[in-house]
Amino acid sequence: MSEAVDELVRLLDLERIEDNIFRGQSRDIGGRSVFGGQVLSQSLVAAGRTIERDRMAHSLHAYFLRPGDMEAPIVYEVDRIRDGKSFTTRRVKAIQHGRPIFNMACSFQVHENGGEHQIDMPDVPPPEELKSEMELRALVVDHLPEKLRAKFMQPRPIEFRPIDPENPFQPEKKPPYRNYWLRAAGKLNDDMALHQAVLAYASDFWLMGTAMLPHGLTFMMRHVQVASLDHALWFHRPFRADEWLLYSMDSPSSGNSRGFNRGSIFTRDGKLVASVVQEGLVRVREDE
């Protein structure tokens, strides 16, 4: 397991304070506040530690309320809303400095057989034919001030390989579609709850940027303010987060300084394993 993946697994191994209360730490990945995918995945872990192990998460719906402080621990309070015969529902609140920064409702289900169908996976090049995100970053890192370059190039626990990469410093206007291959950058154990948490973490990368493609905007622009507002994730089928998954994204609409984004996640052999929806703030500040 790579050092970055090992650190992510440690971040997901929350400290139990009380029966329904957990504490987690943060990793600085170069943003101004705690990465939303980290809070999302830690909340899922906290909820999962209050349920029976015969049922797995099938959906979660979350709101980002305040920026997280990377220097302070995050306390997760789990509300055991319902324990049913087939479904278990939990509500999770993430707290820092006495105030909620995030809340989430999630549902778990025992395995049941039923009719199945799914959409087809897009026809895209395999990951072996593509440059990794880190290789692409190395080509543009000189655009950054020297003090920011180390953070920009730090190893990530998730390996990404974009199908049609864009230059974050010289973006071109494009239709609101993008595809990325992704996988954990190291071997994980066989615990499906861990694989779900890692995918929840990865699902918050790149999705928001899809709504920015038609406008020629990126996260690297000083006059652009971007923040996740909410995030929903559905797990459809078992998968491994340490094997290649295709993240296919589109943005049907943006307006009123909000961008709406959708994602479908497929295994390499074409099985749809998860769906994602996110809306985020995309505000252009003319005063910058």
Positions annotated as catalytic residues are: 204, 228, 278
Our measurement of the distance from residue 77's CA atom to the centroid of its chain's CA atoms, rounded to an integer in Å, reads: 21
Structure-token match 């984004």, residue found: 261
Neighbours of 114 (CB within 10 A): 4
Strands (DSSP E) found in 143-176: 158-162
- Report how far apart, in Å, the C-alpha atoms of 236 and of each of 111, 116, 160, 233, 273 are: 11, 10, 22, 10, 5
Can you name the residues that pair with 15 across neighbouring β-strands? Answer: 23
Cα angle value 169/172/174 (rounded, 5°) = 135
The token duo for 45 is 């872990």
The token duo for 238 is 């078992």
